[in-house]
Amino acid sequence: MLISACMTPPHSQAATPAEVTTAVTQAVSFFHSKAAANGGYVYRYSADFTLREAEGIPGPDTIWIQPPGTPAVGMAMLDAYEATKDEKCLSAAVEAAHAVARTQLASGGWDYSGHFDAKNRASQLYCRDADGRRLERKQVPRGEGGWQVWKRHQNKNNYSTFDDDVSQAATRLLVRVDHALGGKDAEIKEAADFALSAIMATQYPAGGWSANWDTWPSAPPPVAMYPIKAGSYPTDWSRKWPKDFTGCYVLNDNTHATLMSTLLLAWQLRGDAKYLDAAKRGGDFLISAQMPDPQPAWGQQYDAEMHPSWSRAFEPSAICGRESQSAMWALLRLAAATGDKKYLAPLPRAVAYLRKSLLPDGQIARYYELQTNQPLYFERGEGGKGFVLTYSDKKASSNYGWKWDSELDAIESIGRKIGRGEPVIFPRVEKERWSSPPTEGDIRLVTG
């Protein structure tokens, strides 16, 4: 983000490492001094920084957790520190990590935004006060784990989400800053530990995750209610939204992939095998969730019986092109990290199927109908209300991405390299673009 912008000089002559370092540190100092509120950030600012925007207009003491909010900005500043070793960049990243730690909920994760004004803070079950002191709460929602509990949203003041990389990005920032500080900041370390514990506690026996939770599981979701099964087709599925969120295992918007990336990062920086084991369980889930022929790819979400299922009114039981590519990237990263080629095994069938399913323009459809493989879209209902399933994209609603660029060539190429034991460089795609520290090439370019 900040680094990549500063690496491209406005003139034709290449900038020196010293000039780039100066530009990077100036960018961090400027943005930190002008944009930060309570150490955190939102999405966009007017040129004079008097207007702030995220999903809506946040209050002056509200920060955004959902990327590209506070965690993404904090990691960009940490990237700048790791490349330049300028302490001002580290200080800015630490402030962002404190803002994230102080908006962590008693459920262990984060909501889309976080608040620092007294009224809004009082309405949330945050772990800490606005100054970072731990809050000793007598009662915190605890109980049975699983979607049958969490989908009720009974504890709205304790709502944590994995949707849109929210809790994952917050966790990665804390883990990375904790590593940079050598574990010396107790607040940041404790918040990172708690967040990682929440990721592992909410993982199902099969290795998947739900999109959100608001009750700390006193035990993991029970295998009796969530048996370990392979992906399969339902005997039938409704063409109309059932008005129920039955998809307890969620891949939507790369949720599963970013959870695996977060666990791998924790393992790489901390060396604790429990994080790798949880990431492997996530990979095992993707292997099991791959659908059988004639559509050997992945759904957007699955019910407890491992059938692709509905989520929102425009997210049907279907095979998903975007989420299938995300699943394959996650398996590739796991195979590269572990050297275990079993995680490559699902790819050839999935790539071959998706190549045959490409649209005439070379893109990939977000949804393919179960069994028939026809691309699915949604139009607005009568009077602009609701959504109606259709096989045509001519009047597809504008609220959603119905088509995505094919990444199959890159997936296939990197898979072959991993299979041959060759080193690989992963592209930063989709929501994983702020998942990783700068590469060695990035650092050499800046520091010489």
Residue in this structure with the two tokens 């990290």, named with its chain if needed: 337
CA distances from 320 to 357, 391, 392, 395 (A): 11, 15, 17, 20
Closest alpha carbon to 300 in 375, 247, 236: 247
pLDDT value of position 444? 57
User: What does the pLDDT look like over 136-161, one tens digit per residue?
Assistant: 988 899 999 999 999 999 999 999 99
pLDDT of 434 above 50: no
pLDDT value of position 3? 47
pLDDT value of position 426? 87
User: What does the pLDDT look like over 311-322, one tens digit per residue?
Assistant: 999 999 999 999
At residue 446 the predicted structure's pLDDT band, cuts being 50, 70 and 90, is very low
User: What does the pLDDT look like over 76-89, one tens digit per residue?
Assistant: 999 999 999 999 99
Q: Token pair of 315, please?
A: 């997210």
Contacts of 348 (CB under 8 A, 6+ apart): none
- Cα–Cα dist 145/215, whole Å: 7
**CATH numbers and ranges of domains, the chain:** 2-10+18-447 (1.50.10.20)
User: What does the pLDDT look like over 77-122, one tens digit per residue?
Assistant: 999 999 999 999 999 999 999 999 999 999 999 999 999 999 999 9
At residue 40 the predicted structure's pLDDT band, cuts being 50, 70 and 90, is very high
Tell me if 326 sits within 8 A of 257, measured CB to CB: yes
- Cα–Cα dist 363/359, whole Å: 5
pLDDT value of position 429? 55
- What predicted TM-score, i.e. pTM, was given to this entire model? 0.92
User: What does the pLDDT look like over 230-262, one tens digit per residue?
Assistant: 999 999 999 999 998 888 999 999 999 999 999
pLDDT value of position 245? 87
pLDDT of 437 above 60: no
- Cα–Cα dist 81/91, whole Å: 9
HSE at residue 185, side-chain half, CA atoms within 13 A, is 22
Phi-psi region of 371 (alpha: psi -120 to 50; beta: other; left: phi over 0): left
342 class by beta-carbon count within 10 Å (0-12 exposed, 13-18 middle, 19+ buried): middle
Tell me if 128 sits within 8 A of 183, measured CB to CB: no
- Residue 414 φ/ψ, nearest 5 degrees: -70, -35
Closest alpha carbon to 282 in 375, 190, 374, 168: 168
pLDDT value of position 440? 59
At residue 431 the predicted structure's pLDDT band, cuts being 50, 70 and 90, is very low
Among residues of the chain, what percentage have pLDDT more than 90? Answer: 87
pLDDT of 438 above 80: no
User: What does the pLDDT look like over 162-179, one tens digit per residue?
Assistant: 999 999 999 999 999 999
User: What does the pLDDT look like over 187-215, one tens digit per residue?
Assistant: 999 999 999 999 999 999 999 999 999 99
User: What does the pLDDT look like over 345-388, one tens digit per residue?
Assistant: 999 999 999 999 999 999 999 999 999 999 999 999 999 999 99
pLDDT value of position 258? 96
CA distances from 147 to 110, 151, 157, 231 (A): 18, 5, 18, 18
- Cα–Cα dist 281/273, whole Å: 12
pLDDT value of position 441? 59
- Cα–Cα dist 280/282, whole Å: 5
pLDDT value of position 138? 84
- Residue 55 φ/ψ, nearest 5 degrees: -90, 85
At residue 9 the predicted structure's pLDDT band, cuts being 50, 70 and 90, is very low
pLDDT value of position 244? 87
